[in-house]
Amino acid sequence: METGFLQSLELILNFGMPLILLMMAYFIGTWIERRHFRSIRNRESENAEFPVVSFDTMPDDWSASSSTLVSGSVVVSLDYFKRVIAGLRSLVGGRIKTYEPLLDRARRESMLRMIESARRDGYDAIFNVRLETSRLANSRGDGKGTAGVEMLAFGTAVKFASRFARTP
């Protein structure tokens, strides 16, 4: 009876614990991702009225008294469980859906940081907005795989010459 119990305990420790740790990592990663998306949505609604455009020249109806370069950057990492799923998907090809929320979070967060920087410094709008992305680190020593992605948003922030310089 004791040997059966010890064998069961050994089986649980050898197979059950890694499985439990993987499941915990999956649920914690999902919780963190959802919390971040909720924060992004809240901050986007707070900044919805702030003009941000990708035109390379300032719109004609804007009259600026000053301008400066503003930027926002973020590094977002993919959790281990999703990285394993992406690795399996890369074997057969096709769309890697686990990376899409990663890039969406990074893009939206970098834009928000850029906007918040401009607002904090008293600017009224941003034009000529651009995004850059790069793989920041390798998850394996052989140079393959992605541990994280950096997203940089930058543009030209302007202060309007008068309070009503921009026509809504």
Q: Two tokens at 7?
A: 């064998």
pLDDT of residue 136: 67
Domain 2-160: give its CATH code. 3.30.110.70
pLDDT of residue 87: 72
What whole-number distance in Å separates Cα of residue 18 and Cα of residue 84?
14
Domain ranges of the chain: 2-160
Query: What residues form DSSP beta bridges with 156?
Result: 69, 127
- Strand-by-strand arrangement of the 148-160 sheet: 64-77, 148-160, 125-137
What whole-number distance in Å separates Cα of residue 115 and Cα of residue 107?
12
Altogether, the residues listed in the chain come to a count of 168
What whole-number distance in Å separates Cα of residue 126 and Cα of residue 100?
26
Say which DSSP state 140 is in.
Answer: S
Residue with tokens 């707070």: 46
Residue with tokens 């977002």: 76
pTM above 0.75, yes or no: yes
- pLDDT tens digits in sequence order for the chain, 168 residues long: 577 777 777 777 777 778 888 788 888 888 988 999 999 999 999 999 999 999 998 888 888 899 999 999 999 887 766 777 777 777 777 777 777 888 899 999 999 999 999 999 999 999 999 999 987 656 555 555 556 788 999 999 999 987 544 444
